[in-house]
Amino acid sequence: MKIVILKFPHAPEYFFYVACSMATKLGCDVAGIITFDLNEKETSHEGYPIYPLTEIENLSWDVAIYTCDGNDFAEILPRMIELGIGKREQFKSDLWLLKQFMTKKYEDFADPAIQETLEWWKTHELSVFNQHIPYYTLSRVFFDEVCDLPYVHLQTIGGEWRRLYYPKNHDFRVQEGERFVVNLLTEQLPTSPHLYVTDEHKVQAGDIIIDAGVAEGNFALKYVDLCSKIYLFEPTEKWHEPLRQTFKDYRDKVEIIPRFVSDKTGRVSIAIDDALPDLRGKKIFLKMDVEGAEPKALRGAEKILTNNKVRASVCTYHNSDDLVKVKSIFQTFGYKTSTSAGYMVFIYDPNIFKTADFRKGIVYAEN
């Protein structure tokens, strides 16, 4: 198979050369990199020729791989086809290439969950959750004129419906004139590798919840009536007013801490141990999803982890080595650890084309 890599101006620079290497390892013949940049000065890189778009008609190729903003490509592709530059089925996304590479890389792995995904890929595209979440859900958005914010309804663990607020300028899905939140709790389906709680590992009555990486606060709101206290760590300013509205009836129970969690306290970050009062001897449920900073955040929670009865659910999919780091930290403190079922492919990691790996979503830990 002969391949060309399309180099769009706003795509990550490293991708083109990683993609060429990946295609070569698959046994493909890389005809070259096609640049859309009129000011491109390079004519080759690491042995791969770089051609202007005007040269693509002079090359022999079966598949063109692209990575760019989806809207940009949606505008460019029809023009290319009108000019007779290939057929629609010849243009494949970077995720198609990643799927081919991972299929070959893992074809001999004995893990049944990985083999299940490879089988699923034969008739589906690669995604973050693959067969584990094969559909999406929509939650209708309403508007609160009193506080001037949009919201959706969320059902708590006790069956009550509460308002979950969003920033006014949030990017909602629009269908037939209505606004929706996509996949509000879909990643918490029982089949999800991103599942925070299980039948054996869950929030219990009277727990103190430490929620690091809150966003809209859907996890905390679900358990707000069951727990005794909630500490919400959320550094992103756009979420602060929606969170205040969501938990306005629970001011005595919920505390919002607008800082990044880390191993040390600084100007914009804070260690969990420094942020909280003495909770010695309390039952705590720690949920952590902080975009790859989980190892640092755990090192800043040594007192919490050593002085309390803790159940923790910590994300480990943002970086390829997070699983090893997080498990090691918990084991240092004498915790028993396990992982969520299944695997994720975290396509939003800039390094995913270098690592091309399956990742466990959550480490569960208990002392």
- What tens digit of pLDDT does each residue of 309-338 get? 999 999 999 999 999 999 999 999 999 999
**What is the reported pTM?**
0.92
Q: How confident is the model at residue 72 (pLDDT cuts 50, 70, 90)?
A: low
Rounded to whole angstroms, how far apart are CA atoms 358 and 367?
28
Give the CATH fold of the 2-108 domain: Rossmann fold (3.40.50)
Confidence check: pLDDT of 71 > 90: no
Rounded to whole angstroms, how far apart are CA atoms 283 and 209?
9
Q: How confident is the model at residue 88 (pLDDT cuts 50, 70, 90)?
A: confident
In 94-216, beta strands by DSSP E: 138-140, 142-144, 149-155, 161-165, 173-175, 178-182, 208-212
Q: What residue spans in the chain does CATH classification 3.40.50.150 cover?
A: 192-366
Rounded to whole angstroms, how far apart are CA atoms 38 and 9?
10
Rounded to whole angstroms, how far apart are CA atoms 4 and 32?
5
Burial category of 57 from C-beta neighbours within 10 Å (exposed 0-12, middle 13-18, buried 19 and up): exposed
Q: What residue spans in the chain does CATH classification 3.40.50.720 cover?
A: 2-108
Q: How confident is the model at residue 78 (pLDDT cuts 50, 70, 90)?
A: confident
Confidence check: pLDDT of 70 > 60: no
Per-residue model confidence (pLDDT) at position 135: 83
> Per the structure block, which two tokens stand in for 289?
């999803």
Tens of pLDDT, residues 263-307:
999 999 999 999 999 999 999 999 999 999 999 999 999 999 999
Kindly report which listed range (113-117, 130-134, 236-240, 326-330) carries the lowest average pLDDT score: 130-134
Confidence check: pLDDT of 69 > 60: no
Per-residue model confidence (pLDDT) at position 152: 98
Task: Specify whether domain 192-366 bears CATH 3.40.630.30.
Answer: no
> Per the structure block, which two tokens stand in for 45?
């890189």
Contact 276, 303 (CB under 8 A): no
- Tell me the mean pLDDT in the region 80-103: 89
